[in-house]
Amino acid sequence: MSGMDVLEKIGELKSRKNAVILAHNYQVPEVQDAADFVGDSLELSRKAADLAAGVIVFCGVHFMAETAAILSPAKTVLLPEIEAGCPMADMINGRELRAWKARYPGLPVVCYVNTSAEVKAESDICCTSSNAVSVVNSLGVDELLFVPDKNLAAYVARETGKRIIGWDGYCYVHHRFTPLDIEEARRLHPKAEVWVHPECPLDVIALADKTLSTGKMVLEARTTSCREIVIGTEKGIIYRLAKENPSVTFYPARETALCVNMKKTTLAKVLRALETDTFRVAVPPDIADRARGAIQAMLRIS
């Protein structure tokens, strides 16, 4: 089947099934182009909750589809590639969090959205990279637990001045950025600003001009007067940035910054998802109810 035929078939099935395609900013170009909405984790959670559609095809990784399923239990949420997980989200499970919490009685738990439903169910409030600082400030406490990303925890501690005890997790894509990458990028592109994601290590963040979630990079690129920007996050976002801002040149801070799991979804798999209603992501109601509390607490404050 040609690319056009696949798109046409996807369009037909979407209207027949009242389906909507959501895609994360790291998805491959053909998937971003076929999506009804492309965004960061926070934008996609909000969309999933607000949409009137009966079926959501979630082009991203498993925890994102799970978040959509938690917020919209009456909708069918499909993940086109069931193997698309997030290794960072897999670095802590519900049992481990329960045991860890028991060592710090009384401390609130903030979980990054990159966690399983089970971990969200054990947490007080969820956050994304867009709103982590406001979520932590909203708690009105000086000390808290944060799972699973130690880099995001360190960044939020720096920004808020709070004592944050972080789980020892990390994103292998962002953790690999080094100060040398930023120094080298500045040498190659002396006029460029450097924007990095808060999942990067703190010594990398310290050398950047801006620290932004992927959604905030998209927004900032629309208004910046800068004509050259070095991007320190998963390289897939550069497709969207370049498409929306043809007068700006974007350079990856690391050529090899690729999330293998984000690349597993293809247009052919989106079509298969719609044809076969696979892979359906559902969360057991008792876990979903508790996890929803943590996500809604976040949505209320951001």
Sites of contact with ligand 13P (CB under 6 A): 25, 40-42, 86, 114, 128-130, 171, 199, 213-214
Residue 136 binding ligand SF4, by CB under 6 A: no
Residue placing its CB nearer to ligand 13P in the complex, 46 or 290 = 46
Residue type, 178: T
Report the nearest approach of ligand 13P to the CB of residue 89 (Å).
Answer: 8
Q: Which does 94 bind (CB under 5 to 8 A by kind): ligand SF4, ligand 13P, none?
A: none
Residue placing its CB nearer to ligand 13P in the complex, 111 or 171 = 171
How many angstroms separate the CA atoms of 23 and 267, rounded? 11
In terms of Cβ atoms closer than 10 Å to its own Cβ (0-12, 13-18, 19+), residue 282 is middle
Tell me the DSSP string of 32-51: HHH-SEEE-HHHHHHHHHH-
The DSSP code for 167 is -
Residue placing its CB nearer to ligand 13P in the complex, 274 or 281 = 281
Residues 81-100 that bind ligand SF4 (CB under 6 A): 86-88
How many angstroms separate the CA atoms of 2 and 248, rounded? 32
How many angstroms separate the CA atoms of 153 and 190, rounded? 30
Residue placing its CB nearer to ligand SF4 in the complex, 14 or 240 = 240
Structure-block tokens of residue 116: 């399983």
Report the nearest approach of ligand SF4 to the CB of residue 85 (Å).
Answer: 8
| Element at 194 (helix H, strand E) | strand 193-196
Residue placing its CB nearer to ligand SF4 in the complex, 259 or 295 = 259
Using CB under 6 A as the criterion, which residues of the chain lie in contact with ligand SF4 when the complex forms?
A: 61, 86-88, 114, 171-173, 234, 259, 261-262
